[in-house]
Amino acid sequence: MTAAILDGKALASQLREETAEKVARFVGEYQSAPCLAAVLVGDDPASEIYVRNKQRACERAGIESRLHRLPAKTTQDELLSLIAQLNQDTSVHGILVQLPLPKGLDEKQVLDAVHPLKDVDAFHPENVGRIAQGRPRFLPCTPHGIQQLLLRNGIPIAGKHVVVIGRSEIVGKPMAMMLVQRGDGGDATVTVCHSRTKDLRAVTRLADILIVAIGRAKFVTADMVKPGAVVVDVGMNRTEEGLFGDVDFGPVSEVASWITPVPGGVGPLTIAMLLENTVEAARLMRGKEPTG
């Protein structure tokens, strides 16, 4: 068996086209474009690349992109003051604070300061709570991209056992919450594994769908995967040998039925869903229900 590729790059292109159409309708209705404001603190090279890619994606979709650069020595009060200004600016529909923040800044307090209606990353406690209750305002970008990748490739989720390795606030926890909800893209039985999980291999081999987001290169090996399982690799690990996911791609692809590559798998979908959330935020600010 050789796994079929879950092509996130191709799907992201399709999703961006759909978003561009929504943007065009929004502009036609309101004579202004949705606007995403990004806040970049410090000079982390990876963050620079991520923000640049997000800006380019916004431009291609017709979304206005504003970048607020702050020096690494920025204080907590200065950063919170900027976020307060962006919250009050009615021309800004979405606010993105690029992570990680420099040492000395309270990441949780900063993310909590973003207004829930402009929280297009879906990190605010109010938005997380809405996800838990099955009535989301926005869905977190990476988990939503994974869900769309499965749905649009016709991979059944309902009734399947999904094992998520990793319990981060960005991927692991929201992914689990989304997949257990009733309805399309949900109704799964979900197990979340982490550093304290005993006999991890025994648990992962139960998975019909295995989602890996732990940040350790080639951590998941072929003997950890049930034959025929769907494997989604969220990892992006830069090593001296190159860029690798959390899954040992070659051997695992001989066991799985579907697998995401790294790069070209989950990564492009994260940005695509960020654009989608920005458009929905703009419509919510206009008092409109989100589009389908």
Give the C-alpha separation, 99 to 110, whole Å: 11
The answer to whether 76 and 83 are in contact (CB under 8 A) is no
Give the C-alpha separation, 94 to 238, whole Å: 30
Output phi, psi for 181, to 5 deg: -65, 155
Catalytic: 55? no
What is the enclosing helix (H) or strand (E) of 259?
strand 258-259
Catalytic: 98? yes
Extract the runs of DSSP E, i.e. beta strands, from 87-221: 94-97, 161-165, 189-193, 209-212
Select which of 22, 118, 119, 121 is catalytic.
Answer: 121
Select which of 22, 98, 119, 148 is catalytic.
Answer: 98
Q: Cis check for the bond before 100: say yes or no (omega within 30 of 0).
A: yes
- Identify residue 141 by its one-letter amino acid code: C
Give the C-alpha separation, 239 to 250, whole Å: 17
Catalytic: 108? no
Across the strands, what pairs with 238?
243
Active site residues: 54, 98, 121
